[in-house]
Structure 1
Amino acid sequence: MRSALTELEPMALKVYDGAVQRLGIVDLGSGTARLVVYVYEPGKQFRLVDEIRETVRLGEGLATQGRLSKNGMQRALSALKLYADFAQATDLDEMRVIATSASRDAENGAEFMREVRKLGLRVQVLSGEDEARYGVLAVANSFNFQDAWVMDLGGGSAQLSRMEGRAYREGRAYPLGAVRLTEMFLKSNPPKKGEVEDLERFVRREMKEVLAQVRDNPLPLVAMGGTVRNLAKLAQRRRDYPLDLVHGYFLSREELEEVVAMLTQRTTEQRRQLEGLQSDRADVIVAGGLVYRTVLREGGLEGLWISGQGVREGAFYREFLPSPHLLGNVRGFYVRNLFARYPQDYGHTARVRHFCRLLFGLLAPLHGYGQAEEQLLDEAALLHDIGMSVGYYDHHKHGEYLVMSAAIPGLTHREQVLLGLLVRYHRKGEPRPGAYRSVLQDGDTKRLLRLATILRIGEYLERSRAGRVEGLEIAIGSKQVRLTLRAEEEPWVEISETGKQAGLFQQAFGRELLVEWSASA
């Protein structure tokens, strides 16, 4: 087999026009208010840089009185004053407030909005359909699903929508928020069996039609909001899940059943002591869990996917992405967004990527992998040196940390683990799953070994970072693989350093690796 080095692909990232902007978005919910701040800049796309969360319980008493209480409004206004002061102190270019079910459903919602506008804030009260549309937009830009059910359960309401072709098709809001249902049904602490049954009966009645549709169309269910994220964290703690990542986690029906059963048996104070549960949700988490349990049972679903994004991110995408406000490639966008945040030698990275692509193709008879592994290897080659932004020593470990420190939308947890491990072992060490073993599948240990070997050889073919190797030739024998480097002058550094990986190559591919040089024509 033979391959020559072709023209290197440009490393420039697609960015949007415009100057650096700092945008704040406030999600004023029935239970909590949260300000998130994004920096959006050419060359680095966007990143979350700050967040302030306040418990406001704006919807307190709404279920029984139909009105926002004075205390609830005062708590919300105090939080908004805090956010307004933060925006002024940090020179935000813009801050927007989006209000949801409590503000739109209350008899005195208009009165509350007048008080909010007196603070000089730009506020939009979302309709139930608007809220559902923003949720779908968040899922469309953070998962690889084309079609899905999308559910957002807050303090005052729950939205269940149908996403089709990454676009909102239909949906509606239901009076099934965690705060609202707690006030309506769960009077005891812990709740009594009859109270739980009454709540679940109410959920079944309210969602009867849509749950029949879910059963007839068993698409993936993606759930968002603080309630479901806390349920997922509790499930992860119970099984000693090795990742501190929630977005992209699949919460099985069995796990949810166990968590909800455990929560219903504890008092509010006992729940507050649970690791993984925000203390201010301890009194309402049961109601939210019961809603999700009912949806999975009645919808005939085996579980749901957790979204770390929601209405706030949907609002962000609507602002910064041109219509139809969709990323062309979710996974590719977020991988490149990570790459763009850390300065490095772009020319070296491009050459390593190219060598990895060549080697993957040339060694195909030995590994037999396909497009999924090729994409993973290419992403690892792109990110392999991001740890250099921390420091040279142990930059492979720094790189793994940066890859694993936050969810990468578009990747499953398994894929992100493999990506992080490939970055970790791109320069030395024996590739092993380590603490991540439980996240991986059968065959992944060998997959990691082989892809890490290719990546490491690609790295050492560029050891001098001078672009001296111009092409590769590979001859595969029954016991040996001969790798010939084509260059104008003998690249002794590359030959020597690549040759040191012969033991790893033998372990990965069962062949002896011989490295030699051939002068370029």
Structure 2
Amino acid sequence: MTQNRLFGIIDIGSNSVRLVLYEDAGHGIHRIVEENKKTIRLINKVAKDGSLPLDQLDELIKTLLYFRSLCEAHQTDFIRAVATAAIRNATNSEDVVASLLEKTGLAISIADDEDEARFGFIGVMNAMAIPDGFLIDIGGGSSEITLFRDRQIVNSVSFPFGAVNTSKRFTPNGVTDEASLRDIRVMAETLFEQEPWLRQHPGLPMIGLGGTVRTLAKLTQKRSGYSLPLTHQYRIPLITVHETIDLLATMTLAQKLKVDGLNADRADILVPGLVLLQTALMHTGASTCIVSGTGLREGVYYETSCPEQPLVTDVLDHSIRILLHNAGVETTAHVDQVHRLSLQLFDGLQGYHRLGSSARSSLYAASRLFRIGTSVNYYTFPQHTFYWMTHARLNGLEHREIVLAALIAAHTGKKKSRRAYLAHQDLLTETDLSTAIALGTLLQLATALDAGRQSLVRDIQIHTSDGAPMMELLCSGNPEAELEEAGRLSDDFRKTWGFSLRFSVSE
């Protein structure tokens, strides 16, 4: 059995410094043991000559020593500290790194523009199944925009503006007006125009990472009473960016501090950051902004854990394996069999349900995770499964697909499914509920067809006989228990699918 390793990843940003401790089980399977953040605003300590005075590093040194002590307390195997724009662009960056090494014992590596774009790209691609789009990472002292096609970087650029230094330059008192908003847009637009490729791919989504975009998501979800407690993969239309800027721009700093969901350490810099995002969305002609909960730190982790192949090949499968690992649930032959039979039934009945790849992806996740709730309580595991799937981050699915998958996995009857659905009517329709019930019933049938836990059903072939489906079970033994268990579902299945269960058995 492979011994788990503990990695400490420290991200020294222009606004904040973060530590994430990853317990790594191999192949990028991990759980976060601890995370810590200190807002230092290193970019504000840069002198007029472009240097970062060594006597201004005390707060950073104190934070790094604290983070190092946390790593030592957890007996971390490896610590990797990466610095971005504030230190990278300092005219005395080598002296800064040397001083930090002397004072903290930590070797700081400086991520150049290409490194920073690559780390962010890996962190996002391993958590989103999106083939083409833009990435925008609005940091404290710089912003990176990356174009990717077929999950490969095509172009990337780093701009010398972020939420903190833009705020310091244009809104030093934390208050915005029409003139300052206009000046920020002109500044960003002028630099965007120097990169012609930014305008050449209208209609692609723009994935946003960093505190500005995450805060926007939290504010938007608070205002709308959003039912899913997840920001990762949340979609924000451009109109919402406009409305949020209009709402906050006229507020005083004291008023902003009272806004639900807006942290004090971001209240004075959020609007300038949002204007940068707004300008980028409009300049590129992006179709929507998709929030990423992952970025540079995750990219550094994957490059450290899997240096030969940091990019995962199947985002949804990888996320499911992480979720099972974190729940302490081992995949069994029974779950594998139910998963296989569920997809066979879905594919074989395509002509009857006519559902697309999105529904199949939800069933794929549901049939892998339907027993994850047993890690809490066997007797009530369906409701715990629903909670796991809607509260843990399930990468590779849209929010609607996540709730659909949870309804399928936890389905034990129409009434209970409807009660769970009612809490998520902002994401699902009545048609979605019908889909969840139909596929939940299909998952129950697949479970029944392995009642003896012997994986007797090798294959299911569905034929049309007398105008209705006939399910031919190709078996390696007598499926008496399986047929008996399936028979108990016959009434519910007929009411849901509109036809009766009929089986033939062959070896």
Letter in 1 for 2:427: V
340, 346, 349: which is aligned to 1:363? 349
**Once the two structures are aligned, what percentage of the paired residues are identical?**
29
Residues 256-290 of structure 1 show CA distances to partners (whole Å, capped at 9, x for unaligned) of: 11111111122222222222222211111111011
Matched residue of 2:374: which SS? helix
365, 374, 387: which is aligned to 2:360? 374
Partner in structure 1 of residue 118 of structure 2: 133
CA distance in 1, matches of 2:143, 2:347: 49
TM-score (norm 1): 0.88
Partner in structure 2 of residue 258 of structure 1: 243
Deviation at 1:143, TM superposition (A): 2.0
100, 103, 107: which is aligned to 2:87? 103
CA distance in 2, matches of 1:180, 1:489: 72
CA distance in 1, matches of 2:32, 2:251: 36
Larger mean Cα displacement after TM superposition, 166-175 or 150-159: 166-175
Deviation at 1:231, TM superposition (A): 1.0
194, 198, 201: which is aligned to 2:183? 198
Task: Tell whether the 8 Å contact from 1:31 to 1:58 is kept in structure 2 after alignment.
Answer: yes
Letter in 2 for 1:447: T
CA distance in 2, matches of 1:370, 1:287: 41
Deviation at 1:410, TM superposition (A): 1.7
CA distance in 1, matches of 2:457, 2:485: 13
Partner in structure 1 of residue 228 of structure 2: 243
Partner in structure 2 of residue 7 of structure 1: none
Give the direction of change, closer, same or farther, for the CA distance of 1:378–1:265 in structure 2 (3 Å limit).
same
Partner in structure 2 of residue 448 of structure 1: 436
| 1:89 maps to 2:73 | yes
Give the direction of change, closer, same or farther, for the CA distance of 1:304–1:63 in structure 2 (3 Å limit).
farther
Task: Tell whether the 8 Å contact from 1:487 to 1:517 is kept in structure 2 after alignment.
Answer: no
Give the direction of change, closer, same or farther, for the CA distance of 1:375–1:171 in structure 2 (3 Å limit).
closer
Partner in structure 1 of residue 277 of structure 2: 292
207, 215, 221: which is aligned to 2:199? 215
Task: Tell whether the 8 Å contact from 2:27 to 2:306 is kept in structure 1 after alignment.
Answer: no
Task: Tell whether the 8 Å contact from 2:147 to 2:155 is kept in structure 1 after alignment.
Answer: yes
Partner in structure 2 of residue 491 of structure 1: 480
Task: Tell whether the 8 Å contact from 2:214 to 2:231 is kept in structure 1 after alignment.
Answer: yes
Deviation at 1:507, TM superposition (A): 3.1
Letter in 2 for 1:278: N
288, 292, 304: which is aligned to 1:319? 304
Q: CA RMSD in A?
A: 2.8
Deviation at 1:297, TM superposition (A): 2.2
417, 424, 430: which is aligned to 1:431? 417
Deviation at 1:313, TM superposition (A): 1.2
38, 42, 50: which is aligned to 1:54? 38
CA distance in 1, matches of 2:242, 2:111: 32
Task: Tell whether the 8 Å contact from 1:384 to 1:426 is kept in structure 2 after alignment.
Answer: no
Matched residue of 2:378: which SS? coil
| 1:505 maps to 2:493 | yes
Deviation at 1:239, TM superposition (A): 1.8
Consecutive unaligned residues in structure 2, runs of 5 or more: none
Deviation at 1:330, TM superposition (A): 1.8
CA distance in 2, matches of 1:344, 1:57: 44
Task: Tell whether the 8 Å contact from 2:28 to 2:306 is kept in structure 1 after alignment.
Answer: no
Deviation at 1:253, TM superposition (A): 0.2
Partner in structure 2 of residue 390 of structure 1: 376
Alignment of 1:265-276 (within 5 A): 265-276=250-261
Give the direction of change, closer, same or farther, for the CA distance of 1:215–1:43 in structure 2 (3 Å limit).
closer
Residues 12-69 of structure 1 show CA distances to partners (whole Å, capped at 9, x for unaligned) of: xxxxx96421001000011111001111114882222210111111111438563436
Alignment of 1:23-34 (within 5 A): 23-34=7-18
Letter in 2 for 1:137: I
123, 137, 144: which is aligned to 2:108? 123
Task: Tell whether the 8 Å contact from 2:411 to 2:437 is kept in structure 1 after alignment.
Answer: no
Task: Tell whether the 8 Å contact from 2:20 to 2:32 is kept in structure 1 after alignment.
Answer: yes
| 1:405 maps to 2:391 | yes
CA distance in 1, matches of 2:458, 2:200: 57
TM-score (norm 2): 0.90
Letter in 2 for 1:352: V
Deviation at 1:449, TM superposition (A): 1.9
Equivalent pairs counted in the alignment come to 501
Partner in structure 2 of residue 12 of structure 1: none
Deviation at 1:124, TM superposition (A): 0.4
Task: Tell whether the 8 Å contact from 2:54 to 2:99 is kept in structure 1 after alignment.
Answer: no
Letter in 2 for 1:52: N
Residues 111-150 of structure 1 show CA distances to partners (whole Å, capped at 9, x for unaligned) of: 3322210211121011122212212222232222333221
Task: Tell whether the 8 Å contact from 1:344 to 1:386 is kept in structure 2 after alignment.
Answer: no
CA distance in 2, matches of 1:468, 1:368: 28
